[in-house]
Amino acid sequence: MEILIAIRTFFEAGGDVLYLIALATFCMWALIFERLWFIRTEHQEDLQEALTYWRGRNERSSWNAQMMRQRLISEVNLRLTQNIGFIKTLISLLPLLGLLGTVTGMVQVFEAMTYSGGNARSMAAGVSAATIPTMSGMVATLSGVLANTFLGSKVSAEEIHLEDMIAIDH
């Protein structure tokens, strides 16, 4: 119960932009986990289907066979890299949302200065609303960059593995 109160207090101090940052972070991590799950399950099935098809061919060295190999690799890689661009877009969007929170928080500071003549207590809420979204956007971005780097290395390794598995017989 105390955790929920702390989270609610954090969101209230950070302002409305914090909800957008939380939503974008949730979507980013959902897509990252989906890609990792895909690589672990469905991609292995795609890999086996492509390998079975390739090994079932009688002839694997002609120009037509090479084009068929490229098509198989492209189709499997297309499914493998699905949503990677959207993940990168969310990673790029999160610092901008943090900056939006900074701007809206500073507007609150300027409003407090206008109406209260520079009362420190009234400005504190605006400063809080300015710094918390910036920090949240940066933390979410850094976690996304690390996860995306790991995901990118997994995708690259799987692409290389696929090309090695479907080798051209000479």
Show the DSSP H helices in 15-119 as ranges.
Answer: 17-40, 42-56, 63-80, 84-116
Under 8 Å CB-to-CB from 25, ≥6 apart: which residues?
Answer: 90, 94, 140, 143, 144
Write the pLDDT tens digit of every residue in 106-124: 887 787 777 777 677 767 7
Give the pLDDT band of residue 36 (cuts 50, 70, 90). Answer: very high
Q: Where are the domains of the chain?
A: 2-165
Distance CA 39, CA 168 (A): 24
Query: Nearest CA to 158 among 81, 71, 63?
Result: 81
Tokens of 92: 């790029």
Given the structure tokens 């009688």, which residue do they identify?
58
Backbone angles phi, psi at 167, to 5 degrees: -90, 150
Write the pLDDT tens digit of every residue in 54-71: 988 888 888 998 999 999
pLDDT at 166 exceeding the cut of 90: no
pLDDT at 138 exceeding the cut of 50: yes
Give the pLDDT band of residue 169 (cuts 50, 70, 90). Answer: low
What's the predicted TM-score (pTM) here? Answer: 0.84
Write the pLDDT tens digit of every residue in 13-35: 888 899 999 999 999 999 999 99
The per-residue pLDDT of the chain, averaged, comes to 89
Residue 124 has a pLDDT of 74
Residue 110 has a pLDDT of 82
